Amino acid sequence: MTPLFEKPVWRLVGDRGALVEYGDSITPEINRKVRSMAMAIGKEHPRGIVEVIPTYRSLLIIYDPMETDVSHLQGELDSLEAHLDRLDIPPPRLVEIPVAYGGDFGPDIGFVAGFNELTVDEVVEIHSAAIYQIYMIGFTPGFPFLGGLSEQLHTPRLETPRALVPAGSVGIANNQTGIYPVASPGGWRLIGKTPLTLFVPSRRHPFLYEAGDLIKFVPITVEEYHAVAARGDG
Amino acid sequence: METFLVLEPGAFTTIQDAGRYGYQQFGVPVSGALDEFSFRVANLLVGNDETAAALEITFQGPKLEALSECVVAVTGAETPIRVNARPEVGWRSFAVHKGDVITIRAAQRGIRSYVAVSGGILVPEIMGSRSTYVGAGLGGLDGRALVTGDTLFREQAAAVPSAVSLPERFRPALSSEIALRAIPGPQDDYFDRGIDDFYATSFTVSAKADRMGYRLVGPEIKFKGGAPQSIISEPSMPGAVQIPPDGSPIILLVEQTAGGYAKIATVISPDLDVIAQARPGDRVRFERIDLATAHGVHRAWREKLRVVREILQSGKSCVS
């Protein structure tokens, strides 16, 4: 496993962007570094940075070329990195996502169980026991790419993606698990559904979590699902 | 107040402003007007803040009935405009009265036009922007393109002069032979001879060209021997030129979030306005530019906008 780069690798992204890579693999360690640097930049907000987008192993920095340039940014990020331990970086939040597993909510749970020679109950137990790190958010608004899926649950994608996966569906694709915050086409194996509304554009904080946060799935019954859905919170 | 009744929506007409910033980390693309210069000038011509919401037309324009008196300007593509039977021209504001019908026909050159109305199109601001992102049904009018029967509203505005026009010398030249300046990277190291091919040849804009991206057709751009054909998924910026395994470049635009293919180069931001006007069938070539030169071009783009703003706001151009 490749560890963190000794020095980040900078790549140019046009005249307004730079990609700063901290490693070239998908590991919790590299992603924690990405999160710490994103938070450090958020705290210190070096002049000219317009937006910082954390990814699996890098930060995409969008800057205003009228305010700064790449060599300035390199200097400022190097200095932030050197003093990272002095910055008060809060620990990642743990966000609990209630999930009703199986049935109509998770039509592929039987396949996931069969493929991995497990019972459906074991799939639920294993999936909800883990704490997952949000490596990146993308694909659709709020879609979390989660690391930490047990090898016991790795399952290939559907051969033919569904035309429409309902919002709230929880799925598995190979070594990844994730949630569909908005209805969209998708090829992940669906094992359950959360009654929470994960993306509310009109809310002050439209999303329940951000990259770097931790997610834990909490199994709930169909009755509990409907009770939460009826309250309409999330 | 009520401003337009949509009699015909046109091919793909959406409400856009300067974009939705701050949410790319949550997978929400910036959206916003693709041709930023034309969009901003349309607003300036009708006395608006230059980032007020306006209509973005793709190719075939709408037919709009005015529901109240207002001042309108159309910029961007070269396109026939009529108010009732009276022809109007682009880059020049005109007054319309209640009951007038504005017809904007198919673009003859370029493909995107902007319709600004005094006061600015009024829709709720969603996550800091009025831009439509149809991919997630966000912003604009119910997150979708206009349809027949829609009523558009605008903000109240003080009376503004009409017949304000942008002097010819500031208007972009529209051509079917397009040169785009691009900075190598972020993954130019995945290519060797493919880089030379990329800058040496020209490509044709395919029919798959929308606000997400422009797919180009031309010689296959080959990866370096041994280079992986995909990367760990990462967010993209508008202008990034992605090379999928089939070797046909895709210029990613404002409705793209994350992707897993290598990007050979990134078109500089001032030239996004140029891509926005490219039509299927147009020829595109890429010119390599270094970062320092690109920043000079960027400053010049901003300076031009500043001069235009000064001219239009001082009213010096009222006579045309």
Domain locations in chain B? 2-171+305-314, 177-289
| pLDDT on residue B319 | 44
Q: Are residues A78 and A142 in the same domain?
A: no
Q: Are residues A100 and A199 in the same domain?
A: yes
Residue B315 has pLDDT above 90, yes or no: no
From the list B236, B211, B266, the residue with the least C-alpha distance to B31 is B211
Q: In this complex, is the C-beta atom of A200 within 8 Å of any C-beta atom belonging to chain B?
A: no
d(CA A72, CA A56): 24
Question: Of all residues in chain B, what percent carry a pLDDT higher than 70?
Answer: 98
Diameter of chain B by CA atoms? 66
Number of domains in chain A: 2
- How close is the nearest chain A Cα to the Cα of B305, in Å? 14
Per-residue confidence band for B316, with pLDDT thresholds at 50, 70 and 90? low
Q: In this complex, is the C-beta atom of A207 within 8 Å of any C-beta atom belonging to chain B?
A: yes
d(CA A170, CA B16): 33
Pick the CATH number of B177-289 from 2.40.30.170, 3.40.640.10, 2.40.100.10, 3.40.50.300: 2.40.100.10
B165 touches B320 (CB < 8 A): yes
Residue B240 has pLDDT above 90, yes or no: yes
Q: Are residues A103 and A57 in the same domain?
A: no
The encoded tokens of residue A83 equal 């003093």
Q: In this complex, is the C-beta atom of B302 within 8 Å of any C-beta atom belonging to chain A?
A: yes
In a domain, A1, yes or no: no
Question: Of all residues in chain B, what percent carry a pLDDT higher than 90?
Answer: 88
First to last CA, chain B: 30
**Which of A60, A86, A112 is the last residue in one of the domains?**
A86
Residue B304 has pLDDT above 80, yes or no: yes
| Mean pLDDT on A41-53 | 94
CATH code of residue A108: 2.40.100.10
Q: Are residues A78 and A106 in the same domain?
A: no
Range of the domain at A36: 9-86
d(CA A128, CA A226): 20
In a domain, A43, yes or no: yes
B243 touches B263 (CB < 8 A): yes
In a domain, A3, yes or no: no
In a domain, A82, yes or no: yes
d(CA B212, CA A159): 25
Q: Are residues A28 and A103 in the same domain?
A: no
**A186-210: pLDDT as tens digits:** 899 999 999 999 999 988 899 999 9
Q: What are phi and psi of B23, to 5 degrees?
A: -120, 10
| pLDDT on residue B230 | 81
**Which of A62, A86, A110 is the last residue in one of the domains?**
A86
Q: Are residues A163 and A227 in the same domain?
A: yes
**A69-95: pLDDT as tens digits:** 999 999 999 999 999 988 888 899 999
Per-residue confidence band for B317, with pLDDT thresholds at 50, 70 and 90? low
| Mean pLDDT on B18-46 | 97
Q: Are residues A218 and A116 in the same domain?
A: yes
CATH code of residue A33: 3.30.1360.40
The letter for the amino acid at B46 is V
Q: Is-above-0.90 flag for pTM?
A: yes
Q: In this complex, is the C-beta atom of A134 within 8 Å of any C-beta atom belonging to chain B?
A: no
Q: Are residues A22 and A64 in the same domain?
A: yes
A 10 A CB-CB count for B298 gives 19
The encoded tokens of residue B225 equal 């021997």
A 10 A CB-CB count for B182 gives 26
Substitution target from A1, A12, A15 for chain B, most B beta carbons within 10 A: A15
The letter for the amino acid at B3 is T
Chains A, B: CB contacts within 8 A come to 121
What is the SS3 assignment for B45? helix
Closest partner residue to B233 (CB to CB) among A15, A56, A206 is A56
Q: Are residues A139 and A68 in the same domain?
A: no
The letter for the amino acid at A208 is L
Q: In this complex, is the C-beta atom of B300 within 8 Å of any C-beta atom belonging to chain A?
A: no
In a domain, A140, yes or no: yes
CB contact set of A42 (below 8 Å; sequence gap of 6+): A52
Q: Are residues A35 and A100 in the same domain?
A: no
Q: Are residues A112 and A82 in the same domain?
A: no
| pLDDT on residue B320 | 43
Q: Are residues A129 and A156 in the same domain?
A: yes
**B142-182: pLDDT as tens digits:** 999 999 999 999 998 888 888 999 999 999 999 999 999 99
